């Protein structure tokens, strides 16, 4: 199952990042990558570094399991959970691609405060504000269930924490500054990662 997890990770990276950035470049002349910013040690910087580290750790987990340098946790190492992991991972890949398609030319990795992209609030973005991140977490959870060793679980936890930090301290402040009341009203209605969960309150 570790080999299947590794293959799905490579498919996710190729389809969700490589192919999408290529299509973005063909359509707009830009890959959509804006990178991660912030002074070293800042929350913005930690979000970016944590995200990259999480991907590296998650990729390393199945490789080390294949070479028998780490072993799965016995409580999670069973066929039903592994099959559920495959289903989650595949669904996560498809959901990521679908959400990227809905976002169109507004898709970015990272934020450039000098530009203002169109606020997408239709389709799946009418259910949750960050469906690409939700899909990524779905994929990562599935991959961790396929190779449930300590390193894979650490990678998933680090990814979840980094995404939460990126959204709260980088992307939401940027969207509020760029779109003002339009984004605030949107965030009052639509949940952050799950429908109805993480909506702005009247005081935000």
Tens digits of per-residue pLDDT, 71-86?
999 999 899 999 999 9
pLDDT at 36 over 90: no
Q: What is the pTM of this model?
A: 0.89
Which two three-digit tokens encode residue 178?
Answer: 């760029």
pLDDT at 31 over 70: no
* Residues paired with 110 in a beta bridge: 35
* Residues paired with 146 in a beta bridge: none
| Average pLDDT of the residues in 169-180 | 91
Q: What is the pLDDT of residue 133?
A: 94
Rounded CA separation 125/132 (Å): 9
| Average pLDDT of the residues in 166-170 | 91
| Greater model confidence, 151 or 115 | 151
pLDDT at 32 over 70: no
Look-up of token digits 């959509």 = 32
Which range among 12-16, 38-42, 111-115 has the greatest average pLDDT?
12-16
| Average pLDDT of the residues in 84-104 | 91
Rounded CA separation 131/192 (Å): 8
Please give the mean pLDDT across all residues of the chain.
88
Residue 204 banded pLDDT, cuts 50, 70, 90: low
Q: What is the pLDDT of residue 107?
A: 67
| Average pLDDT of the residues in 176-183 | 92
pLDDT at 170 over 80: yes
Q: Are 16 and 96 in contact (CB under 8 A)?
A: yes
pLDDT at 90 over 70: yes
Residue 160 banded pLDDT, cuts 50, 70, 90: very high
pLDDT at 139 over 70: yes
pLDDT at 33 over 70: no
| Residues 6 or more apart in contact with residue 32 via CB below 8 angstroms | 20, 21, 24, 25, 107, 108, 109
Q: Three-state DSSP class for 108?
A: coil
| Average pLDDT of the residues in 16-32 | 74
């Amino acid at each position: 199952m570790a080999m299947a997890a590794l293959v799905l990770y490579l498919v996710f990276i190729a389809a969700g990042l490589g192919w999408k950035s290529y299509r973005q470049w063909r359509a707009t002349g830009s890959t959509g990558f804006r990178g991660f910013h912030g002074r070293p040690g800042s929350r913005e910087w930690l979000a970016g570094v944590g995200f990259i580290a999480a991907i590296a750790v998650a990729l390393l987990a199945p490789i080390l399991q294949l070479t028998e340098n780490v072993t799965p946790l016995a409580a999670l190492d069973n066929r039903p959970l592994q099959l559920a992991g495959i289903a989650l991972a595949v669904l996560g890949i498809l959901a990521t691609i679908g959400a990227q398609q809905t976002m169109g030319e507004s898709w970015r990795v990272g934020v450039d405060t000098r530009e203002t992209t169109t606020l997408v609030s239709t389709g799946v973005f009418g259910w949750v504000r960050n469906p690409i991140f939700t899909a990524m977490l779905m994929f990562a959870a599935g991959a961790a269930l396929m190779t449930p060793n300590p390193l894979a679980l650490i990678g998933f936890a680090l990814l979840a924490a980094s995404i939460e930090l990126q959204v709260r301290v980088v992307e939401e402040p940027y969207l509020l500054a760029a779109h003002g009341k339009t984004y605030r009203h949107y965030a009052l209605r639509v949940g952050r990662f799950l429908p109805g969960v993480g909506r702005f309150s009247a005081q935000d």
